[in-house]
Chains A and B, each alone.
Chain A
């Protein structure tokens, strides 16, 4: 096979391969840090208050739909002044509040929320309005 304008053709192929395989070599030598969720220190809250470790809805559902729930809560509270949330799972009443309900148990934004959000490069706009909790910097060795 004879190439015409071989230099340009080969350059084009190299550029194509470099672009197409970019994520492969971009990640070489980078630590594969998975989200590391720490429920401590305040997860015990739930046990004290409700008798068992439970979220407002089942864990699997919360994991997938929490943003929908929070968005709905935001609208209900801010627009309708409605703060009561009845869990469809357990029938327990909850206070619709990010900081006074969710974060009572999931007390650390850094060790809970940010773990997955940073991993997925998601920037929820909760903290555009809420004041982000100040957290003690962990001593770094």
Chain B
């Protein structure tokens, strides 16, 4: 049910854009207004989310550690697993962001007859996740050729490496294949494992289908139903130089579908789980140094408590205390 709702939501979005351009000639809406609105929403939304996270105090050091803490000099400490300073935190975060280190440790738990509990390695999620994210990044960087006048060398190099196999014409990009396979695997995994399907929500399926939709429309218009790429770049360049103008040539409705689904992704991004792009850097269990034995961390929401000391108490009641025969410190 949740799968179908998400699937049809993406399908309807795609059809709206396709029909909007094909039948109603809404090129300006889908090519200029919506992309701008989506991009502004994306920027503002992500900044808002970061500020919101930044305003939440994290009073305690709660890094997850799995190594020896820094202690006496003759005990070897684990700098990556249990970072004690900024450098260790940065190195650990880099490994986490670039290579999903914590996911690499993913385990599968199995209860068999006996009863016997067994743990085993489970690296497929890590592999597919890594393949998906890296492909997506490379595809994103590759697309910069549509947004730059003189395409700089690094971008053309990425593109050349990606089409290294020289299959067909236009050349096949490896990342296109890898991304489609990885997203498909991630989807099959989600519906195939009963426990995982049970905890999956619409906002797990929707981004999957949305990304799949973007990838499929992209693949279709590169390899199968080609659009006018020069026109696409002219539109992109006009958007990026803030002088929006539709090109004279017809780019093709598939392009606008691709762009609209992408706009939906951008606008949806800050309000969904996709915003882990920013959130990963703000994970307290990863971005903190385990230095609570070396440094004192004061709870930021400790407010100044009004303390009434004994001396003040005695000042208030000295005469009465004397009268009752109680001893006082100051006469």
Chain A contacts to B: CB under 8 angstroms? 1-6, 9, 12-13, 16-17, 20-21, 23-24, 26-28, 30-35, 63-65, 67-68, 70-71, 116, 119-121, 123-125
Contacts and interface: CB of A to CB of B under 8 A. Distances in A.
18 contacts: A3-B55, A4-B56, A5-B54, A6-B54, A9-B50, A9-B51, A13-B50, A20-B42, A21-B43, A27-B147, A27-B149, A27-B237, A31-B149, A65-B226, A67-B170, A70-B169, A120-B230, A121-B151
Nearest to B232: A120
B149 A120 contact: no
Given A4-B58, A9-B51, A121 B156 contact: yes
Interface size class for chain B? 35 or more
Given A12-B281, A13-B50, A23-B240, A68 B43 contact: no
A87 B151 CA distance: 36
Interface in B266-294: 278, 281
A16 B160 CA distance: 27
Contacts of A31: 149
A13 B278 CA distance: 9
Contacts of B159: 121
Given A4-B300, A34-B234, A35-B230, A27 B54 contact: no
B158 to A, nearest CB: 11
B33 interface: no
Interface in B149-167: 149-151, 155-156, 159-160, 166
Contacts of A125: 166
B230 A4 contact: no
B295 to A, nearest CB: 14
Given A6-B54, A67-B169, A17 B43 contact: yes
B54 A23 contact: no
Contacts of A33: 149
B50 to A, nearest CB: 6
Given A3-B55, A124-B169, 18 more contacts: A6-B54, A9-B54, A12-B50, A13-B50, A13-B51, A16-B47, A16-B50, A16-B278, A26-B147, A27-B148, A27-B240, A30-B149, A34-B234, A64-B226, A121-B151, A121-B155, A121-B159, A123-B156
